Amino acid sequence: MRILIVPEDFRKDQYILRPLFERLFRELERPSARVVVCQDPLLGGIAEALELERLREVVDRYRGMIDTFVLCVDRDGKRGRRGRLDETERELGAEGSFLAENAWKELETWTLAGLELPSAWRWAEVRAEVSVKERYFEPLADRLGVADAPGRGRKPLGERAARRIDAIRRKCPEDFDRLARRLEAVAGAGW
């Protein structure tokens, strides 16, 4: 089975998404799943990632090589984003071939959910923060001395967080766990 993760911008997001999804599929007892992060075409941000024509370009380019496409974007505090993703799934997906999810605020939240956070930080506050990247993720990367690593710390922190996929699922039920359950259903239906 081949899964193409489609981020709004792979240049940093790949370092979060690849390790999380590789670990998720091992947890779902699908260790042979091949997780690839879409790099071509580059979707240069949320506007392009939500543009139906650009997503059709991705699906058309990789059709036949990919079993399931998974669009992962930030919610950025936009209440209507989930509805937009539902519409995109209806347009592009058949039988789970195209799934879309938005991180409750930003993808970096999923990473933070899998890490040991400073004791002064409360998860409810982290989860509620719209600018979680600037307020929590980047300061943590600086504090841990990994800000100069690929993706401004996303690579080492994404890999570390992936080891605790159960914590991410538990702390992010409305987005990451929801997507994990949907992928599990698709996998059980014939992968």
Per-residue pLDDT reduced to its tens digit, 152-169 = 999 999 999 999 999 999
Q: How many residues does the chain have?
A: 191
- Tell me what pLDDT residue 138 has: 98
Q: Given this model, what pLDDT does residue 96 score?
A: 61
Q: Where are the domains of the chain?
A: 2-188
Lay out the sheet containing 98-103: strands in order across.
34-37, 2-7, 68-74, 98-103
What's the pLDDT score for residue 189?
Answer: 64
What is the distance between the alpha carbons of residues 157 and 132, in angstroms, rounded to a whole number?
15
Higher-pLDDT residue of 186, 65? 65
Q: Quick one: pLDDT at residue 16?
A: 97
The arithmetic mean of pLDDT across residues 3-26, rounded, is 96
For the chain, give the percent of residues with pLDDT over 90: 83
Q: Taking the complete model, does pTM exceed 0.85, yes or no? A: yes
